[in-house]
Structure 1
Amino acid sequence: MEPISHIDSNQGLLFFRGLNATELAETSRFEDVAFLLVYGNLPDGRKRIQFRRKLTKLREIGERNIDTLLSTTGEIQESSTSDRPYVLETRGLRKLAEKLDTYGNIHELNAVDKMLLFMSTAPSVAAAEWRKMHGKTRIASSDSLHHGANFLWMLNGTSLNDPDSKDLDSCLILHMDDPENPSLAALQSTYAATGSVSEATVAALDKHVGPLHHGAGTEAMRMITEIEGHPQVSSLLAEKLERGEKIYGLGHRIYRTIDPRAKFLRELLKRRAEVDQRWAKRLESIEEIAKQGSRLLLEKKGKVVHPNVDLYNAAAYESFGIPYSLNTDLFAIARSAGWAAHVSEWQ
């Protein structure tokens, strides 16, 4: 069986089970690619229906106690991590993770099904927590909607047409797995040491957070909104570098060329800009940051850098009406499919 994911760093390509990840994002639905990662091949029609039914049943288990679960999110104490704001952003998902072993014992779920329960229920928890924080009542999930569209429905009651629903799934698919990242290492080491899906998932979430990890998209979006429309983008970025600050969204530890996920999301934003000029302006700002930031890093630090996925992902989600403060949660929602696949291989 092909590896869950691997990267061709020189060509700038990401593969899931030997298939080009950006092509999968273009043609497939979230549930189909999750099936591919966990079981090693894309589902046929019968398996697709069975898998979606399975995810629905698992989500029903996880959703039964959402109100109780969210009533305890305020109990999360100071974490050992210094990235406190990001821990708060993902606290609902963390509480869900803590319950996975309990759900497994009650409903006789194996380790993979516990992870699939997390994957299927995480959008419900993240949306419900956001609505609770904003004084709004929870919106029930819909069995008829795909993964991304269901999250948006639960978040703000928005119904997407099929092309937009597919585009939102595409954004999530691109973040499903990465062969080398801190959250996966934490998941693996904790699961090997404890055999506990709950403890392993909590450990992965704790490593998942932070401005240098999957909170980088949030930081990139803050930078974009700060700079957007400014006549001297180069000067602002130069000042950031002088202060020792990071230009988020540029450079990658593995890719030696532009991150293929960034290329995909840039084209997606171009399509969305054709029907809404707000995103044309936003994309123009992003491209200027990429151009000027790359030039400055080459001049000042001798580094050749290219845009990575963080420069585009929060803006892409925001174009669907999703606040960029939820970017870290969305990364975890997507990455949970990869976590489920890795747990499956460790059995």
Structure 2
Amino acid sequence: MTISSHIAPAPETTSPGLENTVAAETILSHVDGAAGRLIVRGYDLDQISSWSFEALLVLLWKDLAPGQVTEADVQSALGQARAAAFHLVERLLPTIPHLSQVEALRFLLAALADSQTVPHHVMAIAAVPVFAAAIARNAAGSAPVAPDASLSHAEDFLFMLHGTRPSEENVRALNTYLVTVADHGLNASTFAARVIASTKAGMFSSVIGALCALKGPLHGGAPGPVLDMLDAIGSEDNINAWLSASLARGERLMGFGHRIYRVRDPRADVLKQAVGLLRHGGGRIGFAEAVEAEALALLAEKKPLRPLQTNVEFYTALVLEAVGFPRESFTNVFAAGRMGGWTAHVLEQERLGKLIRPQSRYVGPQPSQM
């Protein structure tokens, strides 16, 4: 038997990281890395950063999901769904002490049944703060706090975390964070969600896959190490020496540089303003600003050909620390905001109804002639 040596030619160009490859058309968001601009369904980030998270969901879900057509509709639906999700916490929380916080969130999300009657995009959004707050409290040796369905999503998240009603300043800061990170083009986790959705696996499978992508340190795990860096620097008189030594060792400065942005990440400015308005954030924010200024100066001097500007993780760390989240839970809080974009992209991909199946270029050995 003779095996033909002819193999159909692969596409002429490949891109290992899919740079400059258009893999989807979307109405949801656009990242202009050259201009430092994030557009969400026709609005610049600074136009929507003061909106409630519920209002943003109305925008993201518009024409993609039935019901929840007003901010009040979304708040009511999320409140009821948070109460439903809490029943899973009570039953399953004792089984997760050996898991990291993001692994525990993955486990609890996997317990959401496709057969449940709450709209899946609503339950996916509602469940994350319920689970994340309970996981954080469990890690600290405290019992979970049941949600209050009458509260806004951001307020209830902080209520479930601390067990007391949060200040208006903290609620506003967390809400700004959730809105700011809700969607960001076809990032790794969103692309993962769309690939899974294209197989018709369903909402929960799609967003769990997205969370698994977010778990990777190159995507969602950077905010915590920003605080580690600030702690290691310690004081303002040590900033230059510490940063210089780190760069000399070839280490990355956490909170600087971005795969897409070639100028300052617009989300960093929104979050810098949010944390600056917190009454108790003065000392830490002042120190962080000094670190940021020195880091940008050193990066410009030592890496003049690489545009390394402040990214969203730098001020994310300060916002989440200021409102009381332990740094081990930062990825889960990121997921709480990004779930808004994930659910919208899943709905959009499901409406398209086409399986994502790219080609690959085979570079292995050819079969031998027989």
TM-score by length of 2: 0.81
- Identify the residue that residue 311 of structure 1 maps to in structure 2: 314
Q: How does 1:1-347 map to 2 (within 5 A)?
A: 3-26=27-50, 28-39=51-62, 47-74=70-97, 88-100=100-112, 102=113, 104-107=114-117, 113-193=119-199, 195-272=201-278, 275-276=279-280, 279-302=281-304, 303-347=306-350
Separation in 2 of the partners of 1:256 and 1:320? 30
Counterparts of 2:196 and 2:307, CA distance in 1: 36
Mapped partners of 1:11, 1:310: distance in 2: 19
Paired amino acid for 1:55: L
Distance 1:40 1:231, change over 3 A: farther
Task: Give the structure with higher Rg (CA).
Answer: 2
- How far is the alpha carbon of 1:194 from its aligned partner? 5.4
- 4+ residue segments displaced more than 4 Å: none
Q: What secondary structure sits across from 1:124 in the alignment?
A: helix
For the 8 Å contact 2:257–2:309, the answer to whether it is kept is yes
CA distance in 2, matches of 1:37, 1:249: 27
Unaligned runs of 5+ in 2: 1-24, 351-370
Q: 2:207·2:343 contact (CA, 8 Å) conserved in 1?
A: no
Greater displacement, 4-13 / 306-315 = 4-13
Distance 2:74 2:347 in 1: 15
**How many correspondences in the alignment?**
324
Post-superposition Cα deviations, 1:233-268, rounded to whole Å, max 9, x if no partner, equal: 122112212223210111222222211111111122
Q: Per-residue CA shift, 1:168-222, capped at 9, x if unaligned?
A: 2111110101103111121122222352333322221111013321111111121
Contact 1:116 1:337 in 2 (8 A): no
Could you tell me which runs of 5 or more consecutive residues in structure 1 were left unpaired when the two chains were aligned.
77-87
Native 8 Å contact 2:58 2:70 kept in 1: no
SS, match of residue 10 in structure 1? coil
Deviations, residues 153-179 of structure 1 (Å, cap 9, x unaligned) = 111123234444223211111010110
Deviations 1:27-79 (A, max 9, x none): x11111012111169xxx97222222222232233222212222333576xxx
SS at match of 2:175: helix
Q: Is the 8 A contact 1:249 1:310 kept in 2?
A: yes
Partners in 1 of 2:169 and 2:300 — Cα distance?
39
SS at match of 2:38: strand
More helix by percentage: 1
Which residue number corresponds to residue 84 of structure 1?
Answer: none
Task: Classify the secondary structure of the residue corresponding to 2:30.
Answer: strand
CA contact (8 A) 2:173 2:319 kept: no
SS in 2 for 1:201: helix
- Would you say the 8 A contact 1:228–1:285 is kept in 2? no
Query: Cα RMSD over matched residues?
Result: 2.4
Alignment correspondent of 1:83 = none
Q: CA deviation at 1:314?
A: 1.4
1:170 corresponds to which letter in structure 2?
T
State the identity as a percent.
29
CA contact (8 A) 1:175 1:335 kept: yes
Q: Residue 15 of structure 1: SS of its match in structure 2?
A: strand
- Structure 1 residue 95: Cα displacement: 1.7
Contact kept in structure 1, 2:78 and 2:153, CA below 8 Å: no
Question: CA–CA distance in 1 between the matches of 2:302 and 2:63?
Answer: 45
